[in-house]
Every structure is written in structure tokens, then in C-alpha cells.
């Protein structure tokens, strides 16, 4: 994926765009669980080929495995590549224990909340991103830790999806709500901040496919609109994902 940093206001547009990149068609979660006969056969074949290689128990469910096939258009070989890349990433970064780490320092500066769910019992992760000072984190040498914290956030809301599922809810995805009040070019769009945001959304796409139903940005600065800038579009065009871009803007 080619990453090109847009300058000035384009940066902000690029960020908003990136934040929405993971957006998939809002859909009823139960649809995620509905398979045609052909899809079921493909899933069974895929499962049989990978199950003995899966280190964590939650990975062995159809609920988890189906996503790799869907993300790769039911191509077993491509789905395997994607899944194995994820296993490698999880191992190298010790993701299996990330939820047990002490995040109190970052939780204070980068507030996120995981307590709520919508009326369909879908977990909602709320982030007060306007308060997040990426620039300060970068300047104080915390970018690595911030990258890890952002992975922690995804792992956390994805784990809530598994919990809801275990509690018998038809939940397959989470909802991400970004409160952008206070969003500023200075804090959020510094040249070294943008790669952090891009990396984060790539992490969502690559290692947690189809776990994020929608990213809704509220209180976005009114000067920001959905970008049509070809320059910015070009930036993310290469990743090969064709997703509908849609957003809900308030204020
Ligand atoms: C977490 O780390 C903070 C310092 O960053 C420390 O004050 C706190 O006691 C730690 N909490 C636990 C449960 O270890
Ligand atoms: C989940 O969905 C299935 C069919 O899609 C339905 O039969 C079942 O009652 C639903 N369960 C809950 C708890 O809503």
C-alpha cells in the first residue's frame, strides 16, 4: 500500500478518510452468520486446512474463520495468507496478552470507553479523539507505545464482540464512535502523527477483518467534508478494498 502524506487541510481530510476506510456496509449482524451451501462447503474446507495451526481457542470458531474468507472473496488460498499474516503479527507482538497490560498512562491521555452497547447488544467503543494529542505523544517518544495502545483498543472491542457472542447474542461486529470535538491540525495531523493513524486503520483491516461495523465520527469540524480530493483518494486506493464510504455527520 502506497502511503502519501497530503499536506495542510488535505491532511485532515486524509485522516477522516482513513478513519472511515474500514467502514463496511452497515448490515444486520445475523447476515454475517448466514451462509449459502457453497459458502459453508468452502468454510469447512478452509477450517480443515487451518484449524491445527490456530494457537488461540477463539480462533477455531466458524464465527472467526468466516471473516478471512469474506475479506478475500472466498478464495481459500488468499484467506489463508491473510490469516497466517495475522497469526505472525499476533505472535511477534504478543497480542494474546495485550489486554492484561497496564495501560493506565495512555488511558488518561487517550480516553476510550468500552462500557456501552447498542440496542442490538453490539459493543460500542467510544473515543474522545479530540482530546488525543498525537503530536505530544510523538514528541515525547511515545509513538511505539501509542501504536500498541491503538492495537489494544481494537483487541478490546473485538473481545467484547466475542463476549457478546458467548452470551448468546447475535453480535458479530462492534461500532466505533469517534468524538472529534477539539480535532486540530496541530494535534492530529502533524507529519509524524498521520502514519500512526494510517497504521491503526491498516491494523483493523488486515488483522481484524469485518469486526468493525461502522466508524461514526461526531462533532467533526464543519470545515471537513467527505474528501473527494483525487490526491487523497489516490493514497488509499491501492489497498484493493472496495468499500462504500458513508458517514454520519452531526454538527
Ligand atoms: C499501572 O501503572 C501506573 C504507572 O504508569 C501505576 O501507578 C499503577 O499502579 C499501575 N497499576 C497496576 C495495576 O499495576
Ligand atoms: C439469532 O439469529 C437466529 C437466526 O438468524 C435466530 O434464530 C435466533 O433466535 C437469534 N438469537 C437471538 C438471541 O437473538
> What is the whole-number distance in angstroms between the Cα of residue 227 and the centre of ligand 2?
38
Based on the fold, state whether residues 156 and 193 are members of the same structural domain. Answer: yes
Residue 66 sits in the same domain as residue 110: no
Instruction: Ligand 2 pocket test: pick from 27, 28, 29, 30 the residue with the most ligand atoms within 8 Å of its Cβ.
Output: 30
Give the C-alpha separation, 246 to 87, whole Å. 31
Domain that holds residue 226: 93-251
Domain match, 151 and 209 both: yes
Q: Count Cβ atoms within 10 A of the Cβ of residue 39 and give its class: 0-12 exposed, 13-18 middle, 19 or more buried.
A: middle
Q: Which atom of ligand 2 is nearest to the CA of 30?
A: 5
Tens of pLDDT, residue by residue over 113-149, are: 998 888 888 899 998 888 899 889 999 999 999 999 9
Whole-number CA gyration radius for the chain: 18
Give the tens place of pLDDT for each residue, 66-83: 999 999 999 999 999 999
How many other CB atoms sit within 10 Å of the CB of residue 56?
11
According to DSSP, residue 155 is labeled H
Q: Higher confidence at residue 65 or residue 205?
A: 65
Asked if residue 8 is part of any domain, the answer here is: no
pLDDT the model gives residue 184: 77
| Residue owning grid cell 461486529 | 173
Select the more confidently predicted residue: 81 or 231.
Answer: 81
Place of cell 477463539: 58
The string of pLDDT tens digits covering residues 143-152 is 999 999 999 9
Is the domain of 112 the same as that of 175?
yes
- Residue range 179-198: mean pLDDT, rounded: 80
Residue scoring higher pLDDT (189 or 25) = 189
- Tell me, yes or no, whether 227 and 107 share the same domain: yes
Nearest atom, ligand 2, residue 168 CA = 13
- Alpha-helix runs per DSSP H in the chain: 9-21, 29-32, 37-50, 62-71, 76-92, 104-109, 134-139, 143-166, 185-188, 194-207, 230-237
Residue 29 predicted with pLDDT over 80: no
- The Cβ-side half-sphere exposure at 201, using a 13 Å CA radius, reads 23
- pLDDT of 250 > 90? The answer is no
Residues 44, 215: Cα–Cα separation, whole Å = 31
Instruction: Identify the band that residue 2 occupies on the pLDDT scale cut at 50, 70 and 90.
Output: very low
Asked whether residue 57 falls in the same domain as residue 108, the answer is no
DSSP 217: E
The domain that holds 184 is classified in CATH as: 3.40.525.10
Residues 186 and 79 in one domain: no
Average pLDDT over residues 43-58: 96
Please give the torsion angle defined by the CA atoms of residues 35, 37, 38 and 41, in that order, rounded to the nearest 10 degrees: 90
Residues 78 and 101 in one domain: no
Are 107 and 150 within one domain? yes
Q: Ligand 2 centroid vs 191 CA: distance in angstroms?
A: 47
Residue 219: inside a domain: yes
Do residue 158 and residue 67 come from a single domain? Answer: no
Question: Mutate which of 100, 101, 102, 105 to test ligand 1's pocket (most atoms within 8 Å of Cβ)?
Answer: 102
Residues 119 and 242 in one domain: yes
Question: What local confidence, expressed as pLDDT, does residue 24 receive?
Answer: 42
Amino acid at each position: 500500500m502506497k502511503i502519501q502524506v497530503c499536506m495542510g487541510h488535505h491532511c485532515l481530510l486524509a485522516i477522516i478518510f482513513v478513519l472511515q476506510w474500514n467502514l463496511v456496509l452497515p448490515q444486520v449482524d445475523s447476515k454475517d452468520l448466514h451462509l449459502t451451501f457453497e459458502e459453508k462447503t468452502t468454510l469447512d474446507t478452509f477450517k480443515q486446512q487451518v484449524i491445527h495451526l490456530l494457537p488461540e481457542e477463539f480462533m477455531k470458531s466458524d464465527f472467526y474463520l468466516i471473516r478471512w474468507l469474506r475479506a478475500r472473496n472466498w478464495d481459500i488460498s488468499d484467506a489463508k495468507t491473510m490469516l497466517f499474516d495475522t497469526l505472525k503479527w499476533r505472535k511477534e507482538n504478543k497480542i494474546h496478552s495485550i489486554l492484561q497490560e497496564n495501560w493506565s498512562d495512555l488511558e488518561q491521555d487517550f480516553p476510550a470507553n468500552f462500557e456501552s452497547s447498542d440496542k442490538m447488544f453490539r459493543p460500542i467503543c467510544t473515543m474522545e479523539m479530540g482530546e488525543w494529542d498525537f503530536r505530544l505523544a510523538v514528541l515525547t517518544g511515545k509513538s511505539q507505545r501509542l501504536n500498541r495502545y491503538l492495537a489494544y483498543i481494537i483487541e478490546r472491542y473485538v473481545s467484547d464482540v466475542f463476549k457478546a457472542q458467548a452470551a448468546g447474542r447475535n453480535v458479530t461486529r462492534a461500532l466505533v464512535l469517534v468524538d472529534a470535538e477539539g480535532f486540530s491540525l496541530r494535534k492530529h495531523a502533524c507529519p509524524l502523527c498521520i502514519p500512526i493513524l494510517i497504521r491503526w486503520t491498516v491494523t483493523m483491516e488486515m488483522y481484524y477483518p469485518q469486526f468493525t461495523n461502522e466508524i461514526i465520527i461526531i462533532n467533526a469540524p464543519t470545515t471537513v467534508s467527505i474528501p473527494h480530493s483525487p490526491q487523497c483518494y489516490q493514497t488509499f486506493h491501492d489497498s484493493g478494498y472496495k468499500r462504500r464510504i458513508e458517514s454520519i455527520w452531526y454538527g
